Amino acid sequence: MASDPQHACFEAGIKFGSLYHQFAGTPVSPDSAGSLERAMENAIENQPFCVAVTVDIDEAALLDAADDHGYVELTGRFMEVEMRIEYEGIVVDTEMTMRDGYPLMRLVDVD
């Protein structure tokens, strides 16, 4: 049986997997980045135990990478994410940032 902190960390992993794999490949442009950020936040906050999500899509990076039609497919290199999970009194703070070309999803704090 998992402890409450382990379960809270597992829930964080589920949220990251859902966020990344649900939205990776979505066409995004600098003009649509804000609405996509909100959609991603709202979708993940609907899940159990998730109390806060912040998605920041780098519009300047989108503009630099855009094709002739003005958009790119969303990948981890274009976004940073922070999440807070609360489970049975345990608070887990997480983040996703690029590290060495890889979108690293990690625990920041478990309290």
Domain residue limits, the chain:
4-105
Q: What is the pLDDT along the chain (111 residues), one digit of tens a residue?
A: 999 999 999 999 999 999 999 999 999 999 999 999 999 999 999 999 999 999 999 999 999 999 999 999 999 999 999 999 999 999 999 999 999 999 999 999 999
pLDDT at res. 71: 95
- Which residue in 1, 3, 10 sits closest to 85, CA to CA? 10
- For the segment(s) 4-105, the CATH number from 3.30.1300.20, 3.10.510.20, 2.60.40.10, 1.20.1050.10 is 3.30.1300.20
Centre a 10 Å sphere on the Cβ of residue 42 and count the other Cβ atoms it contains: 11
pLDDT at res. 111: 96
Residue 100's φ and ψ, nearest 5 degrees, are: 55, 40
